[in-house]
Chain A
Amino acid sequence: MNDFFALEYLINPNKRIFWVYILSSILITIIYFYFNSRSKKVVLSSKLWLHPSAKLDYYYFFISYFVKVFMLIPIVVSAKTIAFFVNKHLYLQFDYYENTFFSYEVVIVMYTLSLFLISDFSRYWLHRFLHKIPFLWEFHKVHHSAKVLTPITFYRVHPIENLLYGIRYSLSIGFVTGIFIYFFGAMIDIYSVLGVNIIVFVFSILGANLRHSHVQVSFGEKIEKWFISPKQHQIHHSRRHFNKNYGGTLAIWDRLFGSLSLSKEVKILKFGLRKNQMNDYLSVFDLLIKPFKLLILNKILKKRKLK
């Protein structure tokens, strides 16, 4: 329960809206405005921050927390359990392995990188599946139903999607850790800043909160082929480009699997779902229940069609 309440989210470096990340995003925005004053009016407008969609994000942020804490966390198997399961089976299968080759420092570098890469890769694929598999899309639509983007939109995620991300996390991190424990025993650690993987920390400092905002910060063509910029994620939220830029931090997955879109390729961004769909997501209750209703409805319609 110590993760609870907005205040905790602001002071915990593991949270996207940790005050340092918010501050760095504000600083980047100020610099951005210096060169691009046109979007200043929109971003600073109360219409944006008090838009019904933004307000819904704020309410949902609190409610969804309870759902996560009391309903999801108890049922998701921990990464630790997976890690020891993997380690135990490697040991029983291949016997003990003693590392005498890699130094402690090298192990830390390898583990830090592996965690980041596997985590980012599995996030890419889960995100892509959420779009491509119709059943999962009904739940992911909740996130895309945001008409305006604020950093809190990050938390507009259906509990089923939270559950899937939790399982993805446990499996991927647990698997990597199990392998590392097998090869390097207890000597595994990561390079971290404030307890956060250093790579994730740097990414967060570099404006991760701007991904859900109207500040169209681009990294430039060359860098955007490697790292997803805030603008690239905004493109993903744009109605016509839902099938682009699934990546979390790295753009290489999108490049490899043909879903990359660079900032320069998209000029106009229109967020949210189609007009006729938007009315399905107007309240906290809608966000939580609508996906189930729509799934049942679709099933009934399908049955009728078949008849």
Chain B
Amino acid sequence: MKKILFMMMILVSTVFADQTALNSILKNISIPNVDKTIKNANVLKENLNEQNFKKFLSSWKKVEALYFAGEIDNDYLDTPRYIDVFHNLKEDLKEQMQRVIASKDEPNIALFKNSFKTINALEYVLFNDDKITKREKLLSLAILDSIVSHLNDIKGVYTQYLSSKPKSETWENAMIINSLIASTYRLKEWRIGDPSGNSSKYKDNADNKRAEYFLSKSSFLAIKSILDAHEEIMGESKYLNFGKMAVQSGAKAEVAEVENAIHNSLNELKKLKNDDFSNAKDLYEDVKSLHNAYYLSLIEQLAITAKILDADGD
């Protein structure tokens, strides 16, 4: 009865009693995704072409979409921004990168700013024109080295967490659901809403140039990767993922709602071509449904048990 306090519901399942959802996700999703991104970065280093860039980008988006390292260890809160500055940069990166390319300084000196060593900077270097010059190649390799170093940091945080005493499961599950909510918000508002003119900031003012990877025409690919990452954490799987754990905790309908929204978004994305956001309203609405499914439905499955000392009177 009068119990107050709020504790997350999502409890340990009996089937997977020996591990938490976060442990399983780190082991089966996060670390493999980081490994794949590092591998793809190295492949790109070997051969700087469009196909390899897209492979690398696609794997990175999965890591970024389910980024937990910053919450696990506060020292790594900014790491994603050392890799990807989309929507987090006030200056004009393209103009600055043009200066970097034109300069004669050593790559490590020319790339003195963190933002110069990001995937966005790499995209500019590789796709600002049809040709990759020797200078651009050197810069690309330096950028990729920096990114791989950060990816190794992320992997280190995850590996360390798996081998150390875990934090409370309540905290872990809260952290996962907050990350999923934030990820879908950015997907909806920044990555789809801004270029398609559906976000509150750019209402009815579509412009493909606002797309995340406009130069390489990889924005839809990035969106697909993010949705795939959500599918990995919420959909059917052999291992314990967040969706499976939530179902076992009684949130079957809410998980089905999430899955449905992911599938609808992926289907809608298939209909759109050539990174053109002018007809992306339905995609925006589907991703909005996904965000709402996390925020308004799944979060309500948190067990809120009122626990307060007798408040009968005085």
B198 to chain A, nearest CB (A): 13
Among the stretches B214-222, B276-284, B298-306, the one at the interface with A is B298-306
Contacting chain A: which of B103-111, B122-130, B169-177? B169-177
Q: Which residues from chain B contact A123 at a C-beta distance below 8 Å?
A: 311, 314
Q: With A96-B295, A157-B313, A186-B177 as given contacts, are A169 and B307 in contact (CB-CB < 8 Å)?
A: no
Which of B174, B185, B291: most chain A Cβ within 10 A? B174
- The answer to whether A173 touches B177 (Cβ under 8 A) is no
Question: In the assembly, what is the distance between CA of A185 and CA of B251, in Å?
Answer: 17
Instruction: Flag if A96 contacts B181 (CB, 8 Å).
Output: yes
Q: Hey, what's the 0/1 contact readout for A82-104 against B, CB within 8 Å counting as 1?
A: 01100110010001101000011
A residues 194-235 near B (Cβ < 8 Å) are: 195-197, 200-201, 204, 211, 233
Q: Which of B5-13, B43-51, B132-140, B232-240 is the contact stretch?
A: B5-13
- B17 adjacent to chain A (CB < 8 Å): no
Complex: A189 Cα to B168 Cα, angstroms:
11
Report Cα–Cα, A173/B171, bound state, in Å: 21
A16 within 8 A of B: yes
Q: How many residues of A contact B (CB 8 A)?
A: 58
Cβ–Cβ < 8 Å partners of B307 in chain A: 14, 192, 195-197
- For residue B1, CB closer than 8 A to chain A, the reply is yes
B1-39 CB mask vs A (1 if < 8 Å, else 0) is 111111110000000000000000000000000000000
CB neighbours (8 Å) of A185 from chain B are 174, 177-178, 181, 295, 299
Interface of A is mostly: helix
B75 within 8 A of A: no
Please give the distance in Å from A193's CB to the nearest CB on chain B.
Answer: 11
A2 nearest in chain B by CB position: B1
Q: Is B312 an interface residue (CB 8 A)?
A: yes
Whether the pair B308, A190 counts as a contact (CB closer than 8 A) is no
Residues of A within 8 A of B200 (CB): 95
A154 to B309, CA, bound (A): 12
Query: CB < 8 Å: which of B5, B175, B296 contacts A197?
Result: B5
Assembled-state Cα–Cα distance A169/B312 (Å): 10
When distances are taken between beta carbons in the complex, the residues of chain B under 8 Å from A283 are: none
User: Do A196 and B175 touch (CB < 8 A)?
Assistant: no
Residues of B near A259 (CB, < 8 A) are none
Compute how far the CA of A186 lies from the CA of B177 in the bound complex, rounded to whole angstroms: 7
Most chain B CB inside 10 Å of its own CB: which residue of A79, A155, A211, A246: A79
B293 to chain A minimum Cβ distance, whole angstroms, is 13
Residues of B within 8 A of A104 (CB): 71, 171, 175
Chain A residues with CB under 8 A of B308: 14, 119, 169, 173, 196-197, 200
Interface hits, B172-191 → A, CB 8 Å: 173-175, 177-178, 181-182, 185
Is there a chain A Cβ closer than 8 Å to B91's Cβ?
Answer: no
Give the contacting residue for A96; candidates B71, B74, B185, B304; CB below 8 A: B185
Could you say which of B1, B296, B311 has the most chain A C-beta atoms within 10 Å of its C-beta? B311
Please tell me if A165 contacts chain B, counting CB pairs below 8 Å: yes
- A25 at the B interface (CB under 8 A): no
Query: Given contacts A68-B1, A73-B1, A84-B300, are A154 and B313 in contact (CB under 8 A)?
Result: yes
| Beta-carbon nearest neighbor of A98 in chain B | B182
Flag whether A299 is at the interface (Cβ < 8 A).
no
Whole-angstrom CA separation of A188 from B171 in the bound complex: 9
B310 at the interface (CB under 8 A from A): yes
B185 touches A98 (CB 8 A): yes
A32 to B182, CA, bound (A): 55
Query: Do A186 and B312 form a contact, CB below 8 Å, given A173-B306, A195-B307?
Result: no
A96 to B299, CA, bound (A): 13
Q: Assess whether A248 is interfacial by the CB under 8 Å rule.
A: yes
**In the assembled complex, A166 has its CB within 8 A of some CB on chain B:** yes
Interface residues of chain A, those whose CB is within 8 Å of chain B, are 3, 13-16, 68-69, 73, 78-80, 83-84, 87-88, 91, 95-96, 98, 103-104, 115, 119, 123, 127, 140, 143, 154-155, 157, 161-162, 165-166, 168-170, 173, 177, 181, 184-190, 192, 195-197, 200-201, 204, 211, 233, 246, 248
Q: Which 7 A-B pairs have the closest CB atoms?
A: A157-B313, A186-B174, A80-B304, A185-B178, A16-B310, A186-B177, A187-B174
* New A-B contacts (7) at CB < 8 Å, excluding given A186-B173, A246-B314: A14-B307, A91-B295, A115-B5, A119-B4, A123-B314, A187-B171, A211-B314
